[in-house]
Structure 1
Amino acid sequence: MEWKVVIADDEAPAREELAYLLEQIPEVVQVIQAAGGMDAIKKVKEHSPDLLFLDMEMPDLSGLQVAEIIHELSPQIKLIFSTAYDHYAIEAFKLRAFHYILKPYDDNDVFAVFRELRRINESTAAAGAAADVDGSKLQQTCSVKLALEIEGGIKYISPKDIIYISKEGKHVQVHTREQAYEVVYTLQDLEQKLESYGLFRCHKSYLIQMDAILELKSWVNGAYNVTMDDKQQSVIPVSRNYVKDLRLKLEI
């Protein structure tokens, strides 16, 4: 996959810094700089980029105003907002931003954008390959179960029946809609086993099933809580470090 990128920022040093970081990424084949909001719209029309890095505060048009126009012109472009202030995050995600990074730029934050792009491309390719698998192989894939040791035997659970997994002290529990099972696995073991089945680490002590999320609510200090679709409608904490990735994976 190759990507063309437009950077829109009225501050030349910030544009140059971001351009330098983007040029370190092998898949980035072209970086076009725009000196403001109107210039960004012009460059998008001229170059049809795959990604647009948008500064939030520019003198002619704000990043949010540019985003609304770009959505009309080229809805397929992925928008990444960049700003020195984190209070724009909610507005950015309302406009279906692909990512949101803070200034001064951290190379890990910039590279994380492209790690997510690669992950999406790999998932799309895998889905296409799965469509070509014959019926018997597909049936085998769908029958995979998580084996839990219980008194007197083994309990088999479909990964999709897991609502969340919790760790308290040294004890790890797998929670379904009706029941919780204490397991010998570590949380890290389960994260690796179940990542491809929709389980997401939202906290150092929790994995949650994406399909079982009912509601996301802000809590304190940038953290959130999710309400899960189990019998108790359990409320699970989401650490501030995981909120952005959760929303990117959860929302369309």
Structure 2
Amino acid sequence: MGWNIVIADDEEPAREELIYLLESSEEVDKVTAATGGMDAIKKVKELAPDVLFLDMDMPDLSGLQVAEIVGEMNPQVKIVFSTAYDQYAIHAFKLRAFHYMLKPYDEEDIAMVFRELRKIQPQNSAAAATALGQSASIKTSVKLALELEEGIRYVSPKDIMYISKEVKHVEVHLHDKAYIVSYTLSELEQKLEPYGFFRCHKSYLVNLAAISEMKTWVNGAYNLLMEDAGRSTIPVSRNYVKQLRLKLEI
């Protein structure tokens, strides 16, 4: 059984783009569109969705107003705010927002939401159930196979600092050396997430244990300072900052 989702956005292009991205996922069972705040409340009453994607700026009711009403009416609904502006983020999380996305969206934004949903409600996703089964069988001796011209090099996940997507290939970065691999970044994310790796940017996957600092950058984004030999700097997209801090900090 997949996710039942309602989208509330009065701008048709943004609404249709989000519908397209969501319906492209095998984890989604149903997507229903609402054209404004009142329509969103009505559809939440009728459909009791798992997730409500909620635009902040709508003509009848704001996203914050809708979130307050929905929170009282059906607190089980996970609210994902979506907006072109990041100044609403603090207010959104005060209302217990599940996630916060900035327009324009991309596939990785949606994937991030589903990853977090699977962690709290894994029974709603067949894909998550498979992942959990795989996690249960993980052994500490398992290593990542890097196919090189001279053969195969086996690398322990703890020795990988980060992974980057370059223009035409993906590179696995160890403490003082990088290897070009045939994997996609998404494949490596799936393989390494159980070992403490986090997708902090559409082009980067980092080992949480290899992060030494997080420095403020511009427009709410951050840079990570890694513990490799070159003290590499890795960007963190604004959408991922909150989840990264939740995973990284005690």
TM over 0.5: yes
Q: State the Cα deviation string for residues 78-117 of structure 1 (Å, max 9, x = none).
A: 323333x3234633773444352526xx7xx379626853
How many angstroms apart in 1 are the aligned matches of 2:176 and 2:108?
Answer: 38
Distance (whole Å) between structure 2 residues aligned to residue 15 and residue 206 of structure 1 = 26
Q: In the alignment, which residue of structure 1 is the partner of 2:156?
A: 158
Aligned to 1:129: 133
Aligned residues: 225
Structure possessing the higher radius of gyration over alpha carbons: 1
2:34 alignment partner in structure 1: 33
**In 2, are the aligned partners of 1:34 and 1:43 still within 8 Å (CA)?**
no
Name the amino acid aligned to 2:90: E
Corresponding residue for residue 102 of structure 1: 103
Instruction: Specify the alignment match of 1:78 in structure 2.
Output: 78
Give the letter for the 2:30 counterpart: V
* CA apart distance, 1:159: 0.6
Distance 1:111 1:157 in 2: 26
Letter of the 2:141 counterpart: S
The within-5 A match list for 1:182-193 is 182-183=177-178, 185-186=179-180, 189=183, 191=185
Map of 2:6 onto structure 1: 6
Question: Greater relative contact order (Cα 8 A, min sep 6): structure 1 or 2?
Answer: 2
Deviations 1:170-219 (A, max 9, x none): xx7844xxxx2325x21665957742223346569864113554664430
Distance 2:217 2:159 in 1: 27
Distance change >3 Å, CA 202–CA 48, structure 1 → 2: closer
**Mapped partners of 1:249, 1:126: distance in 2:** 24
Q: Say if 1:231 and 1:57 are closer, same or farther in 2 by CA, change over 3 A.
A: same
- Does the C-alpha gap of structure 1 residues 80 and 202 become closer, same or farther in structure 2, counting only changes over 3 Å? closer
Q: Which residue of structure 2 lines up, in the alignment, with residue 181 of structure 1?
A: 176
2:218 counterpart residue number: 220
Which AA in structure 2 matches 1:244?
N
Match of 2:233 in 1: 236
Give the 3 Å change call, closer, same or farther, for CA 246–221 of structure 1 in structure 2: closer
Change (3 A) 1:225 1:75: farther
Q: CA deviation at 1:48?
A: 0.6
After superposition, give the CA deviation of every residue in 1:149-170 in whole Å (9 maximum; x if it has no partner): xxxxx996531343435799xx
The superposition leaves residues 204-243 of structure 1 with CA deviations (integer Å, 9 ceiling, x where unpaired) of 9864113554664430356421245x599x5623164xx4
Structure-2 separation of matches of 1:79 and 1:156: 42
Q: Distance in 2 between matches of 1:59 and 1:182?
A: 54
**8 Å contact kept, 1:101–1:110:** no
Q: Check whether the contact 1:54–1:82 (CA below 8 A) recurs between aligned residues.
A: yes
Counterparts of 1:203 and 1:99, CA distance in 2: 15
- Look up the SS of the partner of 1:86 in the other structure: coil
- 1:52 aligns to what? 52
Q: Cα deviations across residues 43-99 of structure 1 (Å, max 9, x unaligned)?
A: 32332112212121235542124334434544443323333x323463377344435
CA contact (8 A) 1:53 1:81 kept: yes
Aligned counterpart in structure 1 of residue 114 of structure 2, from 112, 117, 124: 117
Q: Distance in 1 between matches of 2:79 and 2:14?
A: 16
Cα 1:93–1:159 change in 2 (3 A) is farther
Alignment identity in percent? Answer: 40
Give structure 1 stretches of 5+ with no counterpart.
149-153
* Structure 2 gap ranges (5+): 119-124, 147-151
For residues 46 and 203 of structure 1, do their structure 2 counterparts lie closer, same or farther at Cα, with a shift above 3 Å needed? Answer: closer
Distance 1:128 1:204 in 2: 24
Aligned mates of 2:30, 2:164 — CA distance in 1: 43
